[in-house]
Structure 1
Amino acid sequence: MSERTVFQSMSRKHVVRVAPDASVHEAACVMTRAICGSVLVMEPPDRMLGILTERDLMTRVVARALDPATTKVRDVMTPKPICVGPETPVSEAVVIMLEKGFRHLPVLRGDRILGVFSARDALPREIGMAMGLAEFNEQVNDAGGG
């Protein structure tokens, strides 16, 4: 049996995006609504400039005490991220992420963006679903002020 590809393993096969001039607060809201850990930073029509991840928010915004309402995504995103093709084996994508120290890889077929492969997508489906449920429960608890 052949190894799964990143495209086969992606839990989300649509592109979650924001404009480069969006505020970090707006980007965080988009990520929260989509229940994902990254957004692609794109200019029309479909030009990818970078990626903004939860880790970027933590290290480049919160840790530097920047105001999310006034900080622009373009100022804290990771520009020109490493990308992989849809037929890339999951193990190869995981090695790239481990070696480079990140958890999200945009997936492209030619110039067309198919989505983002995340480290969670590399986990067995049952573990990924359980992690998603646990994160959802945590967000519900956080929203309740508890």
Structure 2
Amino acid sequence: MKRKIVPDVVRNQVLLKLPASASVREAARQMAERHVGAALVVKGEGLEGIFTERDLLNRVVARGLDIDKTLLGQVMTGNPATITSDSSAMAALRRMHDGGFRHLPVVDGGRLVAIVSLRDFFGAEFQELEREVAFQEKLIAGSTS
């Protein structure tokens, strides 16, 4: 069965959306509070960019920028690659691998619906593996009865 991004990999997300005018400190604070590795930078309902932990490290900390004065619009990745919710999990992984990034916004009809991270794939695959092991154990138990 072809696994879809939504709902097979991500479901029930509350997205962290911030305007380009938000400070890096505010983004980092909210990312830490929500235990997420990326914030979606939006204007209205439209996606303008993405700000990730790697952006914080490479574009802010490494350059010695002031986190209170630096705005997301100055250090975000603008116009990030996206994928649609009916795309396959494999297509999303391929896009992330080819682009060298760990977070991929999911957009349907210009509307943000989710964000998928490499960590999400590990969780989804682990659940699938657990189901497969349980199925195999039932088969083995049935053949020894």
Q: Give the alignment's TM-score, normalised by structure 2.
A: 0.81
* Contact preservation (8 Å) 1:85, 1:107: yes
Structure 2 residues not aligned, in runs of 5+: 128-145
Question: Aligned-pair RMSD on alpha carbons?
Answer: 1.7
* Other structure's SS at 1:123 match: helix
* 2:54 aligned partner: 55
In the alignment, is the contact (CA less than 8 A) between 1:12 and 1:116 conserved in 2? no
Residue number in structure 2 paired with 1:78: 77
Worse overlay, 119-128 or 50-59: 119-128
The 5 A counterparts of 1:1-146 are: 2-8=1-7, 9-10=9-10, 13-44=13-44, 46-125=45-124
More moved, 119-128 vs 48-57: 119-128
Runs of 4+ residues over 3 Å off in structure 1: 124-128
Q: Which amino acid aligns with 2:37?
A: G
Q: Residues 33-53 of structure 1, C-alpha deviation per residue, up to 9 Å, x if partnerless?
A: 111100110122x12110001
Paired letter, 1:83: T
> Is 2:46–2:111's contact at 8 Å kept on the other side of the alignment?
no
C-alpha deviation, 1:12, in angstroms: 5.1
Contact 1:50–1:77 (Cα < 8 Å) also in 2: yes
Q: Which has the larger radius of gyration?
A: 2
SS of the equivalent of 1:42 reads strand
CA deviations 1:77-107 (Å, max 9, x no partner) are 0000011000111111111111110011110
> Aligned partners of 2:105 and 2:49: how far apart in 1?
9
Give 2:62's aligned amino acid: A
Find the counterpart in structure 1 of residue 131 from structure 2. Answer: none
Distance in 2 between residues matched to 1:12 and 1:24, nearest whole Å: 26
Aligned residue for 1:22, secondary structure, equals: coil
Give the total of aligned pairs.
126
What is the TM-score when the length of structure 1 is the normalising length?
0.80
